[in-house]
Structure 1
Amino acid sequence: MGSDNITIFVGSVQFKTTRSLLKAIDGTLLSDLDETCNQYDKEENVYNFDRDPELFRHILNSYRIKEVHIPRTVCPFVYKKELQFWKIPIQLIAPCCWQYLYESESNLEDLKIVVNEDNNYKTNWNAKNYIFPETNLVPVTEKKQEKEKSSSNEGKDGNMSKVWMFLEEPGSSTAAKIWYYFYIFVVLVSVVLYLIWLDPSFRVPRYLSTLSEDSADVLRLNSSAYNYLKTSLYNEKIMMAGGTDPHPVMFILDVFSFVFFTFELFLSICVCPNKKEYFYDLYNLIKIIVCISMTVTLGLEINKDILKEDLSVARFMIFCRALTSLRLLLIFRLRKIFNSLHIMLVALKHSLKELMLLLFTFLVLVVIYACLIFSAEIESDMFPNTQLTMWWAVITMTTVGYGDFYPVSTFGYIGGVVCAINGIIVLALPIAAIAGVFSNLFSRNSEFQSHKKASEEEKQILAATK
């Protein structure tokens, strides 16, 4: 074949070009065409390829201009596979097409995150295999073995699986949805109890434990002695917590909440199919912390005299009481129903790099401005140490401005202005990136939910016609 001309049939469409043109990009499939190729037809003296002729027109054009441009009418992933088939290096993609290609890849990665995080993904349908068919290329024999294995496991652990679905998946049944809303109701009641626990209107004389003779029961003291203890030794909240008990109705509701959360936690651990993943889940760890802290606070609430005997025990009770406020986070169980709330949590999870960047940059600037203000105010008594200047820098950069500490010198004023402006800029930039992550995930989730709904409706129509 001494002629430079070459004829190529792609999907029954004829293309005529020259070998010298195809040599413009070395190492590709077209540049190495010869008579030994499997696609060569000796009788017709042509090369046959079963590919898309419309795409090949753009592939051939890449040899003419020595760079790759992706047509906007073609899916970038399809065109990328076409480049791989013709062995054209991806480095030749023109910069004007980078956004079209890599933005699509980024959107696909976000979609994979949404699919993997979908609440009903593991139970209702295999969304991963549905959306990404290449992962579903499993031999029939292997599928049969997996089906037999899953059926045997279902027979063995069927009851535990049903209980787990009842506890964790509100979409699995009507009873599960009722249980789900009842759980949220108990969480809200528990939170309200926490908020009004030390309200004087809901405190009564002590009845949970017997008082010792030397116990400072505020309800047995006269008003002058009570005011003395309140102003000189203790504050009113401590006197209220130690000298009174919650209203019996409040206490009963609090005990019910404790029993409810503990029973649900114990049952979910018993029926959980994967104990390791269960304890790695932050939400489940919060439930464990809440149950432990409620156990401690209820035990010490019944026996308050221990608090009087040992101040460290009283402080420990206050710490545990503060931990019980985490019960409010149990409201995030709503993520199982409100998908947008779940996507917000997923966005935070996948924005750790941006959050760490924000924290690191913020801490560096806090230290810098703390040192500058301390030096600028060295002659004043406003900032006795750098710890207070760091506190001032944090409050100024977040534009809170309590006014408890402030510069009084000219250089201090200048440093304060620069610190406040810099704080706005530093906080705004990473937050925009985090908002971008949420926006992308929210858009991909909307697309996925629409696709999922359409697929389910299609299945129902097909099932009805059979």
Structure 2
Amino acid sequence: MWTIPKPKYRNGSCSDGEDEIAVNIGGVRVVLFGDVLNRYPESRLAELLNCSDGDYEGIASLCDDFDPGRKEFYFDRDPDAFKCIIDVYYFDEIHIKSGICPICFIKEMEFWKIDQSVLDECCKSYLSEKEDEMNEIAGKVKVILEAREVERCVTRSQRCQRFLWRLMEKPESSLPARVIAIVSFLSILVSAVVMCVGTIPELQVADSEGKLVEHPTLEAIETACMLWFTAEYLLRLASAPNKLHFALSIMNIIDFMAIMPFYVVLSLTYLGSSSIMELANVQQAVQALRIMRIARIFKLARHSSGLQTLTYALKRSLKELGLLLMYMGVGIFVFSALAYTMEQSHPDTLFRSIPQSFWWAIITMTTVGYGDIYPKTTLGKCNAALSFLCGVIAIALPIHPIINNFVVFYNKQKVLETAAKHEVELMELKSGRETQGVIEASSLWSINIHTHLNSHFKIYI
């Protein structure tokens, strides 16, 4: 048993000590005084304190059991969390202690009728982070359950659509889906290699006008890859549950941008008249569209979880990247201005203006040093030495936080995936039936999964 210290004075006079209650929280007996509890009159303990002795229905609604003779009330709650709850009566704020699930602690606060506004700011941010993790786990669990769901579609077209969607979007769902993903991945690599090899002059052939063009064999391989990409994109679009969301997705926009130039060039080359193709602007447009084929390399991100993790980690490191650009920008401006000023005394100076000196400052601070622009005076050389030293420092400072963000995010994704799989196993054990029968209406599913996650989240923190 432990007793909360009683205030010695209240309103300048000694407390009489008559208003006190004893509560038993999960086997831990605690003595509480009314002077303290009445500071939050709307809390459960204050309501329990102010209940009349004969109001058994009111008392029963506030606690699990009670002993009228000893004036002791029993609660089947977490005693560790209750020790944190008590702090609000003395310090007007609550800190979540380490080892306590923040989601479960919020449930405890709701039970004791304590508003969340009393949480300290550090705990609010911690809670927000855990809620995001809970939502991620819930999303991963939903994907796993949907992958195991029995076909419940009414019409044959709906069944075909769902089958086609899993075939094109869920490589882990079946062997054919895995084969399609591998073929798509290899097609991207082959297309990228063909695009690079096609620019080698020795492998090019001359057309009727004597201009070097890609070898017909390479063009045939390129056409086959583009036909595969087109068929894949159209099948995914046709089977998508939400076609508007599919079309506006970043990765699908990249897929479309990788396919579109091929057909535009094909139309301008074979369907346009010779007079149109002779226009310089049209030829430049064709060359620009051919260069846009490099966008297909970004299609690899759809098949690589590592590239996706890198993208997400960079998004979380925007602040550090912004600091890096700011450091470099300030350094480039300062050292280019100093170099221009110091080199003006030399008759053969290469620094004609400050904007022209920006290029020298960039390649110097990044330690590239092409040598096309270099200082010739002693002061200019000292400025150059100082600029690349500052450049190394400016680049090195934000690198560690960026790498740390990547490692933390990567490890977190692995933990969340494991947690999601473990949660599905727990749901199967608890339900006593196959997971396919667990999926119900969307709103009911959301409530059920969050209930399960709340009860088992301590495993993952």
CA drift of 1:103 comes to 4.7
Relative contact order (alpha carbons < 8 A, sep ≥ 6): 1 or 2 greater? 2
Cα displacement string for residues 59-90 of structure 1 (whole angstroms, at most 9, x for unaligned residues): 44675677755443433443444345445577
Distance in 2 (alpha carbons) for counterparts of 1:271 and 1:151: 16
1:183 is matched with 184
Q: 1:10 aligns with which of 4, 17, 25?
A: 25
Which residue of structure 1 lines up, in the alignment, with residue 453 of structure 2? none
Aligned twin of 1:78: 104
1:261-410 → structure 2 map (5 Å cutoff): 261-298=229-266, 309-335=278-304, 339-380=305-346, 381-410=349-378
Structure 2: distance between partners of 1:463 and 1:89: 39
Inter-partner Cα distance in structure 1 for 2:168 and 2:110: 48
Contact 1:308/1:314 (<8 A) preserved: yes
Which residue of 77, 82, 85 corresponds with 1:56? Answer: 82
The residue type paired with residue 18 of structure 1 is F
1:436 matched to which residue of 2?
404
Contact 1:382 1:407 in 2 (8 A): yes
CA distance in structure 1 between the partners assigned to 2:166 and 2:352 by the alignment = 59
The amino acid that maps onto 2:108 is E
1:324 to partner: Cα distance = 0.7
- 1:188-199 matches, within 5 Å, as 188-199=189-200
* TM-score calculated relative to the size of structure 2: 0.72
Match of 2:225 among 221, 241, 257: 257
Measure, in 2, the Cα distance between the counterparts of 1:388 and 1:192: 37
SS at match of 1:16: strand
Question: 1:124 — aligned with what?
Answer: 147
Q: Is the contact between residue 167 and residue 173 of structure 2 (CA under 8 Å) also seen in structure 1?
A: yes
In 2, Cα distance between the equivalents of 1:375 and 1:186? 54
Are the counterparts in 2 of residues 107 and 440 from structure 1 also a CA contact under 8 Å?
no
- Report Cα offsets for 1:2-61 as digits up to 9, x if no partner: 714432343465322433354677875545632357448694362535233444345446
Confirm or deny: 8 A CA contact 1:382 1:406 kept in the other structure. Answer: yes
Question: Residue 349 of structure 1: CA displacement?
Answer: 3.7
Letter in structure 1 aligned against 2:297: L
Is 1:44–2:10 an aligned residue pair?
no
User: For the aligned residues, what is the CA RMSD?
Assistant: 4.1
Q: TM-score, normalised by structure 1?
A: 0.71
Task: Name the CA distance, whole Å, in 2 between partners of 1:93 and 1:406.
Answer: 59
More displaced, 56-65 or 283-292?
56-65
Equivalents in 2 of 1:438, 1:104: separation in Å? Answer: 22
Inter-partner Cα distance in structure 1 for 2:144 and 2:315: 19
Tell me how many residue pairs correspond in the alignment. Answer: 403
Task: Note if contact 2:269-2:277 (Cα within 8 Å) is conserved in structure 1.
Answer: no
Q: CA deviation at 1:178?
A: 1.3
CA distance change for structure 1 residues 4 and 77 in 2, over 3 Å: closer, same or farther?
A: same
Partners in 1 of 2:308 and 2:89 — Cα distance? 48
- From the superposition, tell whether residues 73 and 281 of structure 1 become closer, same or farther in structure 2 (CA, over 3 Å): closer
For 1:415 and 1:154, the matched residues in 2 are separated by 75
Describe the superposition over 1:298-320 as per-residue Cα deviations: whole angstroms up to 9, x where unpaired.
45666997698333333222211
Deviates more, 1:429-438 or 1:56-65: 56-65
Is 1:106 equivalent to 2:75 in the alignment? no
1:203–1:244 Cα contact (<8 Å) kept: yes
Superposition deviation, residue 331 in structure 1: 1.9
**Which 10-residue stretch deviates more, 47-56 or 442-451?**
47-56
**Structure-1 separation of matches of 2:266 and 2:142:** 35
Which residues in structure 2 correspond to 1:115-194 (within 5 Å)? 116=139, 120=143, 123-124=146-147, 151=152, 157-194=158-195
The amino acid across from 2:182 in the alignment is Y
User: For structure 1, which runs of at least 5 residues remain unmatched after alignment?
Assistant: 127-146, 218-242
Counterpart-to-counterpart distance in 2, 1:354 and 1:362? 12
Partner deviation per Cα, 1:393-434 (whole Å, 9 max, x = no partner)? 222232222221123334433443443333334333444333
Greater shift in the superposed pair: 443-452 or 453-462 = 453-462
Are 1:19 and 2:45 counterparts?
A: no
Aligned mates of 2:375, 2:136 — CA distance in 1: 48
Using the alignment, how far apart are the partners of 2:23 and 2:331 within structure 1? 64
Corresponding residue SS for 2:18: coil
**SS state at 2:180 partner:** helix
Does 2:50 correspond to 1:34?
A: yes
Alpha-carbon distance between aligned partners in 2 of 1:372 and 1:446, rounded to the nearest angstrom: 49
Q: Which amino acid aligns with 2:181?
A: Y
- In structure 2, do the counterparts of structure 1 residues 125 and 85 end up closer, same or farther at CA, with 3 Å as the change threshold? farther
Checking the alignment, whether the CA contact within 8 Å between 2:137 and 2:417 is kept in structure 1 is no
**Which residue of structure 1 lines up, in the alignment, with residue 452 of structure 2?**
none
Structure 1 residues 361, 270: closer, same or farther in 2, change over 3 A? Answer: farther
Who is 2:413 aligned against? 445
Is the 8 Å Cα contact of residues 110 and 441 (structure 1) preserved in structure 2?
no
Closer/same/farther in 2, CA of residues 383 and 161 from structure 1, 3 Å limit:
same
Q: C-alpha separation between the residues in 2 aligned to 1:53 and 1:460?
A: 30
Shifted more, 443-452 versus 48-57: the winner is 48-57
Which SS does the other structure have where 1:170 is aligned?
coil
Q: Report the Cα distance in structure 2 between the residues aligned to 1:63 and 1:299, rounded to whole angstroms.
A: 76
